[in-house]
Amino acid sequence: MTAQEKLDSKTVLDTNPATGTAVAELNETDLAKLPEIMTRAREAQAIWAAKSFKERARHITMMRSYIVDRADDLARTVSESNGKTLTDALATEVLPCALACKWYANNAEKYLKEKNRPGGSILFFNKKTHMLRVPLGVVGIISPWNYPLSIPFGEIVMGLMAGNAVLLKVAAATPAVGRAIEQIIAAGELPEGLFHHIVGSGSKVATGYFENGVDKLFFTGSVPAGKTLMAQAAETLTPVSLELGGNDPMLVLEDADLERATNGAAWAGYQNAGQSCGGVERVYVVDAVYDQFVDLLAKKTRQLRHGVGCNDFNVDIGSLTTAGQLRTVQQHLEDALAKGARIEAQSRPVGNVENGFFHPATLLTNVTDDMLTMCDETFGPLIAVQRVANEEDAIRKANESKLALTSSVWTKNNKRGRAIAARLQSGVTTINDHLYSHGLSETPWGGWKESGIGRTHGPEGLEEMTQAKAVNWDILPSKRNIFWYPFDEATYNGIKNALHFVFPKGLGQMLSASLKLTPFLVKKMFTKWKTD
């Protein structure tokens, strides 16, 4: 960068939300250079797409080695930038990135290689089809601040293994993690220009993506922002994959292991200060075990410690990431209390929490369906527990939400759990667990309703990074198909005999149609069209 460019450039400051101290300062990307960036990305993508899956995997494996070797540094960067604890950062950000490298490097070819498509009818016995998965070209990623490393990195690896170039825009609240991703990618020694980290306003970057012909946009964020992007993408018919959050239910049946269920609720509800799209927000407990469940979860909630987690391992819950999100959590709690909810228990602060965006883990009871925390995404450390009469009541209430990302069922009877899971309206349902399948590279991630469209992760995620292309050809040296010109009565009768041959009323009709069809096929397909 020249001296003048340094003077003209704007910067983005990354501040630790738990302490208020500066973490890093990055220069914003000059969006006027997006056409040049896109050109370089397309040139590099052509080189990259020509590489075999094995060659691409070698580069991804180099990234994995970097992640493993620098796990402590990466966990600290995430913790300082996002506010979560070191343990949380290591478990839910760094480890999943290493796992993603291995799974996609090992499995991309299996799911994206050329495949034979079996024929659908004997009438087209002479046709053969292969299915190709063709790279999209240049994919754009706009990622959130709640999992600033693992969410975008998984999509980056999917995009690269599928043969694409990648333009990444991380959240404005966590740009230091974007710089860390740059360093991971650099360790992979990719072709110059294949990956670009774009720093700047999300809406402006998205507009730049669309204006410069990005081939697909992957966005994780709020429902309103997702709807805006989808409307914008419609102007150019740019495909989008949207993961827009959830208000996820947990169903606790009368035969549940309450020790495990309360452990799971505490983890999935309070982890990352509750800032998890797929975390537990609504808990429906059948009447028979409601009091026991609440009593046990309350005791565990009181034992949890919230505080600065980037320097102290003896902290369970860190801070929220933005002041705006803290206000939303406070608003949802105030709304619930005003409508009759009761605070059963809260976590206790440790150390200095005066300078950060902290909110205690809070267990609520006496909740009603009209409360904000029950009908909107809180995205904070609030768990609302409601008593229900039975499993049917729990299923009905769980499905009433306009959001449908994940859900969970807690029962000792796995068969019963799977049957209920099939009835729950969500992209993911787990049994006796919650908020972990995003870390399973082999399982798809995404939701229904206003939780978004499309899928990331797993074979489905790899396919989202490609275009489906059918290649079909004739295995016989025929002159014409039976339905080609010229038309005459024989053509009509021949096609009708083909219909009766494939769908006969009985053996006699099939044999009769076959005897009439065969000479017609031979004549139509293997004789020249007489034009004189």
Closest CA to 285 of 259, 263, 260, 254: 254
243 noted as active-site residue: yes
Question: In degrees to the nearest 10, what's the CA dihedral of 362, 363, 368, 370?
Answer: 20
Task: Report the SS3 class of residue 456.
Answer: strand
111-131: burial string, b at 16+ Cβ within 10 Å, e else: bbeeeeeeeeeebeeeeeeee
The DSSP output letter for 358 is -
E strand or H helix at 467, and its extent? strand 466-474
Instruction: Supply the angle between the helices 95-112 and 53-69 in degrees, to the nearest 10.
Output: 170
Tokens of 475: 């295995």
Gap between the Cα atoms of 283 and 286, Å rounded: 10
SS3 for 378-419 is CCCCEEEEEEECCHHHHHHHHHCCCEECEEEEECCCHHHHHH
List the one residue out of 475, 491, 474 whose CA is nearest residue 483.
491
Question: Rounded to an integer, what distance in angstroms lies between the CA atom of residue 484 and that of residue 488?
Answer: 11
What tokens appear for 145 in the block?
A: 């601040």
Distances, alpha carbon 435 to alpha carbons 28, 274, 383, in Å: 34, 11, 14
- Hey, which bits of 151-247 come out as E strands? 165-169, 195-198, 216-220, 240-243
Contact 153, 184 (CB under 8 A): yes
DSSP state of 349: E
Instruction: Tell which residue, 194, 196, 189, has the closest CA to residue 170.
Output: 196
At 123, which amino acid appears? L
- Whether the CB-CB separation of 162 and 462 falls below 8 Å is answered with yes
| Options 243, 391, 450, 464, the catalytic residue | 243
Alpha-carbon gap, residue 81 to 75, rounded angstroms: 10
> Are 96 and 438 in contact, with CB atoms under 8 Å apart?
yes
Distance of CA 230 to the CA centre of its chain: 16
List, as one string, the DSSP characters of 105-158.
HHHHHHHHS-EEE--S-GGGTTEEEEEEEEE-SEEEEE--SSSTTHHHHHHHHH
Sequence length of the chain is 532
For residue 119, what are its two tokens? 């024929």
Q: Taking a C-beta distance cutoff of 8 angstroms, is the pair 165, 194 a contact?
A: yes
Query: Which residues are known to be catalytic?
Result: 243
